[in-house]
Chains A and B, each alone.
Chain A
Amino acid sequence: MTPLQRVGRWIGDHLVLALGVLVIVYLVVPIAIVALMSFNDSSGSRNVYKFQEFTVSNWANPCKPEGLCDAVSTSIQIGLLATIVATTLGTLAAFALARHRFRGRSGANMLIFLPMASPEIVMGSSLLALFVAAGFGGQLGFWTIFIAHVMFCLSFVIITVKARLSGLDDNLEQAAMDLYATEAQTFWRVTFPLVFPGILAAALLSFSLSFDDFIISNLNAGQTVTFPMFVWGAAQRGVPMQVNVIGTAMFVIALALVLAGGWNQRRRATAKAA
């Protein structure tokens, strides 16, 4: 092989990877900019979309903009509640679909699939239409957002947990029963520990979907303000840099959770191998 061919071959082998890395950069750069802007001192300028001067004051006083921390707290409360309810109901439903035969399965699949195939604006406006028709038009707020969030998280929980369940070897549960484990012991000693990563993933997904939702919340929020709604409102006037602090903090916490999960898994594997 001539050197030239070798270079050509190396490029051929690495071109796809290099292009892939470029796409990753495209995905990650905006996050880096959010992080950068969280250190921006915008007090001297009206242009909030340009880096002026380095400061840590945004991080020191994240609650300074009026309403920001209230909105974040509302979002966290709704997120936690919606996650608990959606994960519980969704996990039960996933067990039903994966483990039990029943009539109307295709209808059930449709009911799960359709919310994922509907644009948020349609789901949001339908719910609003329902609430108005039912006479709740004046009571929109925390609980109507919660109802909406559980609704759109459910489908994602069901498919995530169901995927984990159907990836599970049936023989494992039969082996447990064969080895003197009662139905309850089989469930808690074998099935649940093996499905748990799926349930955890579904819960994390639910929380992030809920925390991030704007379109549906905005239509059904009444006077309640969630974090994305605060950002939306602020975007009309000029976004306070503290919004970037919240964005960056969320990112760091989520990344830490994911890395800790992965690290924990690897540590257990190597500890057992040693």
Chain B
Amino acid sequence: MRGRLTGYWLFAPAALWLALFFAVPLYSLVATSLFDPDGSVLTGYDVAWAFGNFPDAISEYWRPLVRSLVYAGIATAICLVLGYVLAYAIAFKAGRWKNLMLVLVVAPFFTSFLVRTLSWKLILADDGWIVNTLQFVHVLGDDGRLLATPVAVVAGLTYNFLPFMVLPLYAALEKLDPRLIEAASDLYASPARAFWKVTWPLSRPGVVGGVLLTFIPAAGDFINAELLGSPNERMVGNVIQNLFTTTGDYAAAGALSVTLMLIIVAMVVAYARTSSTEDLV
């Protein structure tokens, strides 16, 4: 119907931009990770095929690396539970409040990530009512605190990435025909069995999408760790950021960045084997 080349012309500008400023930089990043580790801003950097940068960086920074994956994993799990409940409520129970609830889910996007995260400093403050209540019921000791603990960092991560979980889950659940659940209960499935045998498997594309969209940014985040945690909660993002901007140790920063990318790619591939990229895009 239309010219055979039209598709290429339409796609070319975006493809070029992504290639130049996403794909090529990834290559530069890999090159950086193989810089001579003795280079500095003053002496300049050379690609020295220094594969030793990887074991060096990992052995020095394995704690923040593992911590990132653990915090992101816990936050993703909590997001999945909270997000599923919320998405299910919006899809099946909200009635005429559906649109309002959806607006409220995306409401956090309407204001600044950093400003919102800072307000958690106030919520979890040492003399705030949450800490006071927890102290009163002896969950926390008298001088116990939430700020500067892993709890605060995970709470912040959960809060910040929850909408990324809710939206794909909602999209999947919304497509689900509620008559299927009725059919399941007609066929002698208890509500719990109907959920596990019908609702859950059919919402899987949403679960896959939500988990990826939550876990990936959470694993690379350093804002929550910096603002709500202490040096003991440093994540790999903090380290990379510091190495690049303050220390100037590009080789180690590059090696860590590449390592993080590889770990995430491996997890995505393993996790999303069932759904092709066409589905995800």
The residues of A with any CB-CB pair to B shorter than 8 Å are 13-14, 16-17, 19-21, 23-24, 26-31, 33-34, 37, 49-51, 89-90, 92-93, 95-97, 99-102, 106, 108-123, 125-130, 132-133, 147-148, 150-151, 154-155, 158-159, 162, 183, 208, 211-212, 214-215, 218-219, 227-228, 231-232, 235, 239, 243-244, 246-248, 250-251, 254-255, 258-259, 262
Contacts and interface: CB of A to CB of B under 8 A. Distances in A.
A111 B122 contact: no
B25 A219 contact: no
B93 A17 contact: yes
Interface string B102-120: 0111011111111110111
Contacts of A262: 99, 103
Contacts of B120: 30
21 contacts: A26-B159, A27-B163, A31-B110, A34-B111, A34-B116, A92-B13, A100-B7, A100-B10, A102-B8, A111-B19, A115-B18, A117-B264, A118-B264, A119-B216, A120-B221, A121-B236, A122-B220, A123-B25, A127-B21, A130-B21, A132-B45
B118 A235 contact: yes
A113 B227 CA distance: 30
Q: Which 8 A-B pairs have the closest CB atoms?
A: A119-B220, A20-B89, A100-B7, A126-B25, A254-B110, A96-B10, A93-B14, A96-B11
Interface residues of B, number: 89
B264 A49 contact: no
B159 A27 contact: yes
Contacts of A127: 21, 25
A262 B103 CA distance: 10
A235 B114 contact: yes
Given A110-B277, A129-B31, A208 B219 contact: no
B125 A111 contact: no
Given A27-B104, A92-B11, A119-B220, A20 B163 contact: no
Interface stretch (B49-57, B134-142, B179-187, B240-248): B240-248
B58 interface: no
Most A CB within 10 A of own CB, among B17, B105, B115, B250: B115
Contacts, number: 279
Contacts of B107: 27-28, 31, 251, 255
Contacts of B254: 125, 129
A49 B121 contact: yes
Contact of A154 (B6, B17, B88, B278): B17
A248 B119 CA distance: 12
Contacts of B89: 16-17, 19-21
Contact of B112 (A29, A99, A212): A212
Interface of B: 2, 6-11, 13-15, 17-19, 21-26, 28-29, 31-32, 45, 82-83, 85-86, 88-90, 92-94, 99, 101, 103-105, 107-116, 118-123, 125, 127, 159, 162-163, 212-213, 216-217, 219-223, 227, 236-237, 240-241, 244-245, 250, 253-254, 257, 260-261, 264-265, 268, 277-278, 280-281
Given A33-B123, A92-B11, A214-B114, A16 B18 contact: no
B115 A117 contact: no
B113 A212 contact: yes
A244 B237 CA distance: 26
A171 B22 CA distance: 37
A114 B22 contact: yes
Given A30-B120, A33-B123, A115-B18, 16 more contacts: A19-B85, A20-B90, A37-B119, A50-B127, A92-B13, A93-B14, A97-B11, A115-B22, A121-B241, A122-B260, A132-B45, A132-B250, A148-B21, A159-B281, A215-B241, A254-B109
Given A89-B13, A102-B7, A112-B281, A121 B260 contact: yes
A37 B120 CA distance: 12
Nearest to A14: B93
A133 B32 contact: yes
Most A CB within 10 A of own CB, among B120, B223, B245: B223
